[in-house]
């Protein structure tokens, strides 16, 4: 932790350039009938159009994708760059399991901040609906410590279920409290035209849904989704040529936790979240109170509860209680996942982290329609890989 | 299909059959499964092998049902309806993930005493893969 916040970090904070989120784009999440590469183009096209730039102004391409091999396609970089009409720019794919989108964004951000590029495109894309549930579950479990976790029978929902059970045991969190997270996120997604699910549910529905890995039930889980999201990241100087409304990237935090759950001291917490949050807050010179809403990684309801605790928006162990009390509702004290979250907006793995940033863009621009968080100026995205092995976190602020 | 090749599986037999851990020569931390650098002091890479007792306590657990099992286990899940996966804290300190057998799912509790037993884990490439599972120490819970 001290290493992450030490001298190199301070120096970097002092010397880097200001970076702007110029625009975003996204496909609808859910089941799509095109390849990951085609979905990426749709999202990228929207982002480029919104930014008002020409494709040839894009200087580098960061792709976030995890499962394209299941479509028998790797090496997406040149394919997407070619389709975008820029078959010369450096392009690469970044993979940190479900946090790939946030991580790709971070690499884009760091390169612009360092002065390497002025305008880059980040695009997260995923297509998994061609896989049956057992195959998808298998591929997903490769994000954990496969040899020692999955090989002993623990799937992804199984690992999060063990975290949930530990949380319930240590802090008294209840299944009803977890259910309230799903109910809220489904409610928010009703107003998100690009969400996977548009279905209102009740606490009763969650409690009665079939058990997947106890204590987690169907409605405690995010779905397998397809989809793509894109973002244009630019230097302040470049961005000012295209817009007066500048959304600044104020802080970027990245950390890992021990990969396997069994190597963590407290299984009801994700240490990387706290580490990344401290970096980002310190860099942004902001306090938690100044953040207007959060997009957090709620792959399972318990994950949202752990996230708000590990981010420091409540005491450890209070996450279930404040969720149940409505503190995290869209009109609550700390709105969490106004987009509908992974739970209801959907979780197209590689796209998810960039999709969170798409929500931030729409909210901070005041374009979120019925799910608008009133007066939102500052927002945080929290993207987790697997059971918390990776955390990629960003803080954004509209600069006017 | 998920894949741990036969030679690779064999190479990890000390961890899979015998619960052999690595004790750090500098700080005494018992590392299991093996690490390149000691988890305790994060400095030393000098270890001696120690056999773990295979006795421990349930730290957390889940009952896996409804299509949430990796493919090696989907047959098992379909035939049995469910199976228990536990995170077990061994008496020597390390925690591990393992299936729990000889115990009704409704009887599993955090804090329950368990001990290791060698069982068939799954079958792949026509070879049965054996490894450890755990069972309750107390007769009455079976
Ligand atoms: C929970 C899970 C096992 C359900 O998969 P499944 O059993 O194949 O579900 P099906 O696709 O058969 O869907 C059955 C119905 O439930 C709905 N459904 C599926 N998953 C759902 C979810 N997570 N939430 C709400 N509804 C869901 C489907 O839309 C479908 O509805 P319909 O009958 O009205 O069309 C699967 O979604 C899953 O494993 N999710 C977790 C993914 C994961 O681990 N991600 C990584 C996180 S880090
Ligand atoms: Zn040591």
> How high is the pLDDT of residue A186?
98
Q: Is the pLDDT of residue B140 over 70?
A: no
Q: Which domain holds residue B30?
A: 20-53
Both B100 and B126 in a single domain?
yes
Cα separation, B114 vs B98, in Å, equals: 11
Residues 5-44 of B with CB under 8 A from A: 12, 15, 33, 39
A336 or B130, greater pLDDT = A336
Ligand 1, closest atom to CA A386? 48
Both B96 and B38 in a single domain?
no
Q: How many independent structural domains does chain B possess?
A: 2
Proportion of chain A above pLDDT 70, given as a percent: 99
- Give pTM, 2 decimals: 0.95
> How high is the pLDDT of residue B141?
65
Q: Give the closest-approach CA distance of A52 to chain B in angstroms.
A: 45
**At A14, is the pLDDT very low, low, confident or very high (cuts 50, 70, 90)?**
confident
Name the average pLDDT for chain A.
95
- Is residue A54 packed enough to be buried (19+ CB in 10 Å), middle (13-18) or exposed (0-12)? exposed
**At B75, is the pLDDT very low, low, confident or very high (cuts 50, 70, 90)?**
low
- Tell me, yes or no, if A389 comes closer than 8 A to chain B by beta carbon: no
- Tell me, yes or no, if A9 comes closer than 8 A to chain B by beta carbon: no
Both B29 and B66 in a single domain?
no
Taking residues B109-119, what's their average pLDDT?
92
- Tell me, yes or no, if B2 comes closer than 8 A to chain A by beta carbon: yes
Kindly write down the DSSP assignment for every residue of A82-108, as one continuous string. HHTT-TTS-EEEE-BTBTHHHHHHHHH
- Tell me, yes or no, if B87 comes closer than 8 A to chain A by beta carbon: yes
Q: Is A317 left (phi over 0), alpha (psi -120 to 50) or beta?
A: left
Both B116 and B128 in a single domain?
yes
A173-186: per-residue pLDDT in tens? 999 999 999 999 99
Both B65 and B112 in a single domain?
yes
How far, in Å, is the centroid of ligand 1 from the Cα of B48?
Answer: 46
Cβ-Cβ contacts under 8 Å, A151 against chain B = 2, 4, 70, 72, 121-122, 131
Both B43 and B70 in a single domain?
no
Look up residue A139 and give its two tokens.
């591929």
Cβ-Cβ contacts under 8 Å, B60 against chain A = 162-163, 165-166, 169, 267
How far, in Å, is the centroid of ligand 2 from the Cα of B48?
Answer: 11
**At A135, is the pLDDT very low, low, confident or very high (cuts 50, 70, 90)?**
confident
Ligand 1, closest atom to CA A143? 48
Both B66 and B135 in a single domain?
yes
Cα separation, A346 vs A197, in Å, equals: 7
Q: Is the pLDDT of residue A1 over 60?
A: no
Would the CA dihedral through A183, A188, A189, A191 be positive or negative?
Answer: positive
Mark out the alpha helices in A251-396 (DSSP H runs): 271-284, 301-310, 319-324, 349-364
Both B13 and B27 in a single domain?
no
> How high is the pLDDT of residue B92?
94
Both B78 and B64 in a single domain?
yes
Between A139-148, A193-202, A267-276, A291-300, the lowest mean confidence (pLDDT) is in A139-148
Q: Is the pLDDT of residue A26 over 90?
A: yes
Between A115-129, A199-213, B61-75, the lowest mean confidence (pLDDT) is in B61-75
Look up residue B61 and give its two tokens.
């657990």
Cβ-Cβ contacts under 8 Å, B62 against chain A = 154, 158, 161-162, 165, 213-216
Is the CB of B70 less than 8 angstroms away from the CB of A263? no
Taking residues B73-92, what's their average pLDDT?
80
Residue B114: phi and psi, rounded to 5, are -140, 160
In a domain, B34, yes or no: yes
The three-point CA angle A127-A130-A135 to 5° equals 100
A36 ligand 1 Cβ < 6 A: no
In a domain, B1, yes or no: no
Q: Where does A17-130+223-398 sit in CATH, by number?
A: 3.40.47.10
Q: Is the pLDDT of residue B74 over 70?
A: no
> How high is the pLDDT of residue B1?
37
How far, in Å, is the centroid of ligand 2 from the Cα of B47?
Answer: 8
Q: Is the pLDDT of residue A13 over 60?
A: yes
CB A288 within 8 A of CB A145: no
Proportion of chain A above pLDDT 90, given as a percent: 90
> How high is the pLDDT of residue B71?
60
In a domain, B42, yes or no: yes
Both B112 and B82 in a single domain?
yes
Both B69 and B12 in a single domain?
yes
Closest by CA to A134, choosing from A156, A160, A152, is: A156
Residue B123: phi and psi, rounded to 5, are -125, 135
Between A49-58, B90-99, B123-132, the lowest mean confidence (pLDDT) is in B123-132
> How high is the pLDDT of residue A313?
98
Both B125 and B70 in a single domain?
yes
Taking residues B124-142, what's their average pLDDT?
78
A224 ligand 1 Cβ < 6 A: yes
**At B77, is the pLDDT very low, low, confident or very high (cuts 50, 70, 90)?**
low
């Amino acid at each position: 932790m001290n290493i992450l916040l030490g001298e190199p970090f301070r120096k970097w904070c002092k010397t880097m350039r200001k970076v702007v989120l110029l625009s975003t784009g996204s496909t609808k999440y859910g089941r799509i009938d095109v390849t990951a590469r085609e979905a990426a183009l749709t999202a990228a096209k929207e982002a480029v159009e919104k930014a008002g730039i020409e494709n040839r102004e894009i200087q580098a391409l960061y792709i976030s994708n995890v499962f394209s091999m299941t479509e028998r396609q790797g090496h997406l970089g040149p394919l997407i760059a070619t389709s975008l009409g820029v078959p010369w720019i450096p392009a690469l794919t970044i993979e940190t399991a479900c946090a790939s989108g946030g991580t790709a964004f971070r690499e884009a951000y760091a390169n612009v901040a360092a002065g390497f590029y002025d305008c880059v495109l980040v695009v997260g894309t995923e297509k998994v609906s061609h896989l049956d549930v057992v195959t998808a579950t298998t591929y997903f479990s490769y994000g954990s410590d496969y040899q020692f976790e999955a090989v002993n029978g623990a799937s992804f929902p199984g690992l999060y279920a063990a975290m949930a059970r530990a949380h319930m045991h240590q802090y008294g969190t209840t299944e009803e409290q977890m259910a309230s997270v799903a109910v809220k996120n489904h409610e928010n997604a009703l107003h998100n035209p690009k969400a996977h699910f548009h279905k209102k549910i009740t606490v009763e529905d969650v409690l009665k849904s079939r058990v997947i890995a106890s204590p987690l039930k169907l409605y405690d889980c995010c779905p397998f989704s397809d989809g793509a999201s894109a973002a244009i990241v630019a230097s302040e100087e470049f961005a000012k040529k295209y817009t007066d409304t500048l959304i600044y990237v104020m802080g970027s935090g990245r950390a890992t936790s021990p990969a396997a759950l069994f190597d963590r001291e407290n299984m009801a917490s994700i240490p990387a979240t706290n580490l990344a949050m401290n970096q980002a807050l310190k860099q942004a010179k902001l306090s938690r109170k100044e953040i207007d809403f959060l997009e957090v990684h709620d792959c399972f309801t318990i994950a949202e509860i752990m996230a708000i605790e590990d981010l420091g928006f409540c005491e450890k162990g209070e996450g279930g209680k404040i969720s149940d009390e409505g503190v995290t509702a869209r009109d609550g004290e700390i709105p969490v996942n106004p987009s509908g979250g992974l739970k209801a907006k959907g979780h197209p793995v590689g796209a998810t982290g960039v999709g969170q940033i798409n929500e931030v863009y729409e909210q901070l621009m005041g374009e979120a329609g019925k799910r608008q968080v009133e007066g939102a100026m500052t927002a945080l995205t929290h993207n987790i890989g697997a059971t918390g092995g990776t955390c990629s976190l960003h803080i954004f602020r509209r600069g006017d | 299909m998920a894949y741990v090749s036969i030679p690779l599986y064999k190479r990890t037999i000390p961890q899979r059959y015998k619960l052999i851990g690595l004790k750090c020569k500098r700080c005494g931390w018992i590392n299991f499964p093996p690490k390149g650098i000691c988890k305790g002091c994060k400095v030393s890479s000098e270890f001696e092998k120690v056999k773990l007792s295979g006795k421990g306590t349930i730290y957390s657990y889940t009952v896996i049902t409804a299509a949430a099992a990796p493919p090696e286990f989907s047959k098992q899940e379909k035939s049995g309806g469910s199976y228990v996966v536990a995170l077990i804290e061994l008496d020597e300190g390390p925690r591990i993930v393992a299936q729990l057998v000889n115990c009704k799912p409704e009887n599993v509790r955090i804090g329950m005493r368990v001990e290791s037993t060698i069982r068939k884990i799954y079958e792949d490439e026509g070879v049965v893969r054996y490894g450890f599972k755990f069972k309750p120490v107390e007769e009455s819970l079976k």
